[in-house]
Amino acid sequence: MANTETALKEALTSIEGATGVALVDYTSGMALGTMGGGKTFDLNVAAAGNTDVIRAKMRTMEMLGIKSEIEDILITLSDQYHLIRLLKGRGGNGLFLYLVLDTTRANLAMARHQLKRIEEDLEV
């Protein structure tokens, strides 16, 4: 089992093209941990904004009567992928992993696979 810091470090170093990662509580919008990002990309601001994305999707699913669970949400920009993965089990309720990838270096399918594995090992 990995703690938050270990999981974030693994995501940033082992996922090709990763430039930032955060563990976020979507009930509050607060980042519980961040790594990467930089001066021009504030992961705390991104965490709060992506909380709104999750809440909006959950409201929409409820209005449509969709009972499925969200695995992940992908936002594709011209030079970045933003991957939001909701945590399941072991105290992960209300949390998500947020990963920012450089599109020129990332393999999206592998990133999703690796992020799922990191999520499964994460102990919150």
Confidence band (pLDDT; 50, 70, 90) for 92?
A: low
What are residue 98's phi and psi, to 5 degrees?
Answer: -120, 120
The model's pTM is: 0.92
Q: Specify the pLDDT at position 113.
A: 95
pLDDT (tens digit, 9 = 90+) per residue, 2-25? 799 999 999 999 999 999 999 999
Total domains in the chain come to 1
pLDDT (tens digit, 9 = 90+) per residue, 23-42? 999 999 999 999 998 888 99
pLDDT (tens digit, 9 = 90+) per residue, 61-89? 999 999 999 999 999 999 999 999 999 86
Average pLDDT, the chain: 92
- CA–CA–CA angle 4, 7, 11 (5° rounding): 140
Q: What is the CATH number of the domain that holds 71?
A: 3.30.450.30
Whole domain around residue 67: which residue ranges? 4-121
Contacts of 72 (CB under 8 A, 6+ apart): 83, 84, 85, 86, 112, 115
Q: Specify the pLDDT at position 39.
A: 82
Q: Specify the pLDDT at position 117.
A: 93
